[in-house]
Structure 1
Amino acid sequence: MSTVPGRPLRAAGLAVAVLLGLAPAMPAAAQAAPSYDTLLERLDQLPGTREGAALADAAAARADQARALPNPTLSWSTENAWGSGAYAGLDKAETVLTLSQPLEVWGQRGARVRAARAEAQAAGLRGAQGRSDVAGQLAAVYAEAEAALRRHALADEVLALTRADADAVEAMVAQGREPRLRAVQARSDVANAAAMREEAQAFRDAALARLAGTALLDGPVRAIDGSLLDRTPPLPRGAGGVALAVRIAEAETEAATRQIEVARKRALPDLSVTAVQTRFREERERAYTLGISLGLPLFDRNAGGVRAAHAERRAAEARLDRQRRDSGADRLAALAALAAAGSRTRAADESVVAAEEAYRLARVGVDAGRISQLELRSTRSALIAARAAAVDARLSRVGAEIALARLEGRAPFVEAP
């Protein structure tokens, strides 16, 4: 049986080699994004991380400020002056200098300090959660960019493969081995492959732009340095640990409880000690007065503030209860998703190997005239789908690892300390 001319066969062989990863590697782009691990080292520079750290610092500063004593009050006044008769001018004036110092003897200061420290603890945990969220966003954007690069490379390979198949079909049609309809179908496949390549290029450029913006990279990038899709997630930690979200809810409940104590202390009397110096201008003598003032909580006992503090603690306890239930379910779901994604990735890799071998055998069969062009198109479509499914499976694995890392309060693909 006659065979097609050598030129289409060489083109088809090159396409198969490219698709199977045997062709020479293309030169690397001039500018590549740093690896994921390198970007993690810059995590503290990203806006989301800086925001959480700043809020934690603010809460810590408020805790320090809560320890400050209330400021004293100094007042000055003059009596019996600028009147009439004997009281004209300042000859018989009495100058009074008053120093008043509020005293927190009912434990107001201690309650205030404990409440501020509890809020600082919660803010610190929220900052850690924010840092984990930023790391998860970075991992997601990095993986999306890598997947877009792989899909674009696959689209390039598919276009080269489809063109090679179309050339082979043209040669068969010229020899009368295939009807003219097959050539029309082949050229249509080439047009579709070219359109898919343009679409993949647009998605690639958009994904790389998002990566550059998220990671605060200088200038656009056209490649990435290192793979995240091929990286195996670390082993999940034991179930004995408390999820970070639960720890945050516990800290917020503690802070709400401390606010009840603060609200109660505000209902206690305000006590101040006063020292007064009176200077008699006419006799040029001085007299001193010591006094204590006590506020009487007759009308405002802060009852509404106490009720509000109790209500806020009940809300915090409800959030804590919900978070404990949700975190347990979310962890089981994340572990199941991660295991499923790992199995899906291994199955996809096996499918790619089988599809590559099927396509290679189909090419050989077509060249020998034992397999029709329709069967070749079918095996080519199966190979393309298998390669695309392998990318999707790895992307799903990254997503599952991001979800689990958030529950554990760590950066994705980094073991918990």
Structure 2
Amino acid sequence: MSDPIGSRRLRKALPAVASIGWALAASSAQAQTAPPFAQLYLDTREAPRQVELDAEIHRAEGLALQAHARPNPTVSVMTENVAGQTPYRGFDRSENTLQLNQAIEIGGKRASRIAAGTAGVAAAQARTREARLAYAYDLAMAYGAAEIADRRIELAEEEVDEASGDMRAVQALVQAGKEARLRALQVETEVNALRSLVDAAKAERVGAYARLAALAGDDAGFTSLAEPLLPRFEARTGYGPIDPLETAPYVAAQAEREAARQRVSAARRQANPDVTVSVGVRRLEIDKANALIAGVSVPLPLFDRNRGNVNAAEADLRAAEARNAGMLLNVKAEIAASLALNEAADARIAAADRTLRTAEEAYRLARIAYEAGKSPLLELLAARHEVGVARGVILDAAAARLESRARLARLEGTTITGEPVQ
């Protein structure tokens, strides 16, 4: 019997379904494959975080440029002896003066200010390089997180396939009357639970790719990677050495200390008074004559000797020196930890590989024994579970090695793929 109401509902729903389809197609068209990591890092020069770092250098350069500026001259016009009592009622006895005043900085004020500006640029450049290395580290971790998310989906789907194979084997024994129906239900329940893990892994993948695109400054987003990053790393016989004095954090701390030292010098010299030289022309109307005038003025430093700014600059210098000393200790500790973590990561990968091979062989034998009726179902399920755990351990070990390599590259002043960071 026909269902006209259902047909009308279907016709009404078709436009909405079509619009959803077009939206999904459009989002798929906009999505793109992330290039290899080295290329992706080069492509992120216009990412918001990178642009912010460039602005920091431009700010320091602007301040350094301003430090070169000399005081502006002032021009004054003055009229005297007018609009008074007789005989100064009109302008016949007026004296009109045009005067140029120029302040002259003495005591090395301008030179110290320029030196402080130059040191500020050097400090900004050092800080920016350190921040770029931090950005390269974060980008590598985001890239690796996206790849790990892909791998987790693959592992989850592989475990579902293996569990489905076990379920078929159990169902065959149930049909043959060699296994209870309860066993088939147990395996089916486990298969459904594993499928839910696949869905959870896919949701995590969406977040990982979204974070990678946001960090790279890409509006379209990524859905895949052009080149895996994890297989690039292999075990090495040794790591280092790394000179702590050449690391970006310590170089930045040194530059900050030098900039603070120059600011102290500039603050001290700022207390020197400026000399103002005045030159002008005066018109004497009563004599119908012009005369030159000249003068020099010097402020008396009785009340303002710039002591507050000097004290503040000296405190900044003490703090910068303390940070520099502390940074050296931190960098040395970070280098030692990074070298040890990389060696441990290689050992962890090797151990995980051996564990996986053992677990896979145990699962193969358990499957044969179960199908032959020589072992219970629980042993088969436990053996397969151990395989899944071993695969997860390998992936976790690969993620740990990725992080340790990224930390080592950051200390060496390169990206995780070896490109130098400026």
- For the superposition of Structure 1 and Structure 2, which TM-score range results when normalised by the shorter chain? 0.7 to 0.9
1:281 aligns with 2:278: no
Alpha-carbon contact 1:49-1:127 (below 8 Å) kept: no
Alpha-carbon contact 1:91-1:282 (below 8 Å) kept: yes
**Could you tell me the TM-score, scaled by structure 1's length?**
0.88
1:290 aligns with 2:291: no
Distance, in Å, in 2 between the alignment partners of 1:76 and 1:409 is 61
Q: 1:162 is matched by which residue type in structure 2?
A: A
Identity, % of aligned pairs? 38
Of the structure 1 ranges 249-258 and 42-51, higher mean CA displacement relative to structure 2 is found in 42-51
Equivalent residue for 2:10? none
Alpha-carbon contact 2:338-2:407 (below 8 Å) kept: yes
Q: Where in structure 2 are there 5+ consecutive unaligned residues?
A: 1-30
Going from structure 1 to structure 2, the CA distance change for 1:266 and 1:220 (only over 3 Å counts) comes to closer
Question: 1:29-74 CA distances to partner (integer Å, 9 max, x unpaired)?
Answer: x842222122011132221121112111211221122112111111
Alpha-carbon contact 1:401-1:413 (below 8 Å) kept: no
Equivalent residue for 1:402? 406
Equivalent residue for 2:63? 62
Q: 1:325 is matched by which residue type in structure 2?
A: L
**Could you tell me the TM-score, scaled by structure 2's length?**
0.87
Q: 2:241 is matched by which residue type in structure 1?
A: G
Alignment of 1:271-350 (within 5 A): 271-350=275-354
Q: 1:273 is matched by which residue type in structure 2?
A: V
Alpha-carbon contact 1:77-1:95 (below 8 Å) kept: yes
Alpha-carbon contact 2:44-2:217 (below 8 Å) kept: no
Distance, in Å, in 1 between the alignment partners of 2:279 and 2:309 is 33
Query: 1:208: Cα distance to partner?
Result: 1.4
Q: 1:57 is matched by which residue type in structure 2?
A: H
Equivalent residue for 1:24? none
Of the structure 1 ranges 64-73 and 368-377, higher mean CA displacement relative to structure 2 is found in 368-377
Equivalent residue for 1:139? 140
**Secondary structure of 2:99's aligned partner:** strand
Q: 1:330 is matched by which residue type in structure 2?
A: E
Alpha-carbon contact 2:248-2:411 (below 8 Å) kept: yes
Query: 1:200: Cα distance to partner?
Result: 0.8
Of the structure 1 ranges 52-61 and 405-414, higher mean CA displacement relative to structure 2 is found in 405-414
Question: 1:163-222 CA distances to partner (integer Å, 9 max, x unpaired)?
Answer: 221121111122232233312210111121111111111111111111122222342432
Equivalent residue for 2:72? 71
Q: 1:239 is matched by which residue type in structure 2?
A: I
Distance, in Å, in 2 between the alignment partners of 1:300 and 1:220 is 58
Query: 1:241: Cα distance to partner?
Result: 4.9
Equivalent residue for 2:14? none
1:238 aligns with 2:241: yes
Alpha-carbon contact 2:106-2:272 (below 8 Å) kept: no
Query: 1:408: Cα distance to partner?
Result: 3.1
CA RMSD in angstroms, aligned pairs only: 2.1
Alignment of 1:168-317 (within 5 A): 168-232=169-233, 236-242=239-245, 243-317=247-321
Q: 1:292 is matched by which residue type in structure 2?
A: V
Distance, in Å, in 2 between the alignment partners of 1:38 and 1:239 is 26
Of the structure 1 ranges 280-289 and 249-258, higher mean CA displacement relative to structure 2 is found in 280-289
Count of residues in correspondence between the two structures: 389
Q: 1:182 is matched by which residue type in structure 2?
A: R
Distance, in Å, in 2 between the alignment partners of 1:211 and 1:239 is 29
**Secondary structure of 1:407's aligned partner:** helix
Distance, in Å, in 2 between the alignment partners of 1:373 and 1:198 is 26
Query: 1:338: Cα distance to partner?
Result: 1.5
Distance, in Å, in 1 between the alignment partners of 2:144 and 2:90 is 86
Equivalent residue for 2:103? 102
